[in-house]
Structure 1
Amino acid sequence: MTEPLRVVLVDDQDLVRAGFRVILGTEDGIEVVGEAGDGAAAVELVARLRPDVVLMDVQMPGVDGLEATRRILGDAGADSSIKIVILTTFDREDYLFEALRSGASGFLLKNASPEDLIESVRVVARGDALLSPEVTRRVVARFSGGPVAATRPPQLTDREYEVLVALARGASNGEIAKDLHLGEATVKTHVSRILSKLDLRDRTHAVVYAYENGIVAPGTA
């Protein structure tokens, strides 16, 4: 039998954690194994429990979610399977972008539906990343420092570059397969090779890479 996905909740509001715990606790295959009310406690808890997914609030007293993300992923190393999803209300977009650059696997709005919460855990756990194209573009467009001359990664093949452009614009594997007349399995292989060649954690960071290197410009997707 497949082991349940192990989740740690990090938020300074008891009520938020309780709500998330109830939602996730009703879902087969997901287990909330720990909770923390601030970033410092989260770093210690994650190091001890080694969960699959961390749902991380941004603004907390003491060590905030941004610094906690840096510490957790820095301590775990680049090959860690721990995935962090940033919980946000979008009142501090700069925090979100910096969290992405620190290795977080995506965003989740605090007013998301229960179905979205459950899906976010499953998506990041399987390595696809919780990628909301419009949200990612909004953050990158504001904080990437303005227009950048396009830099095509020389290590990518022509087809891999096409796939990178498409996923940076928010296309799913199915949409990329349809547009490029490929099988979905082939697209998945291309995405894996792109991430490996560019040393990127997941699809979210491929999007950030594409914007930062001028491969896709804000507002063109």
Structure 2
Amino acid sequence: MAERDVVSWNAVIQASAETGLLEKVAILFDRVPQCNMSSCNSTLVAYVQCGYLDQAHKLFARIPDRDLASWSIMILGCAGNRQERLALEHFGEMLLEGIKCDEITMLGVLSACNHLGLIQEGVSYFVMMVAELGIDPFVEHFSSLVDLLARVGQLREAHDLLRNMPFVPDPAACCSMLGACRTHGDVELGAYTAANEEFGIEPHHPSPYLLLSSMKH
């Protein structure tokens, strides 16, 4: 099958997915003249984007030599569709198959830990990512860990990570920190976070100040 034909099929599959035509995606995939990894992964993305995890799992199981992209699509898809434990199971299976993960895979893993409140696992995966796998974390990795720490009430640890990360913090992480301060009643730490420009909070953005105001009532 010519490379341009593969690209054409994948483009049609992707376009069908973006318009929500999942039945058409399935029909198109069955008609692909030569099912290669690119076609399989494009179809996986289509299913995941539309929330059709059952179909994604069935296709995933049929792929004989799954690559990093295949695993990452499933891990991110499960993490984003309330199948967090399955995302972590896939991650373990991927490592057992000897496939080295990358930054994108780890975003899904940390997201799954975040949603499940798995603080020890989340911290361990973050450390493994840096120390064992040699992956340089993005601001999104730090933000996910900040959110996880804050959610489970480890506010000081979350605040220290927010302050010491080698990036300007993501405003969303700062708002998560403030929300956790409100939930756990730490007005002082919330006020300190909102008042310091080093945390990346935009001066004219109302959300942090609304959260701070709600803490004081």
Name the TM tier (shorter chain).
0.3 to 0.5
Q: What's the TM-score once normalised by structure 1's chain length?
A: 0.32
Q: What's the TM-score once normalised by structure 2's chain length?
A: 0.33
Q: Quick check: which one's strand share is greater?
A: 1
Using CA pairs under 8 Å that are at least 6 residues apart, name the structure with larger relative contact order, 1 or 2.
1
Which entry has the higher C-alpha Rg, 1 or 2? 2
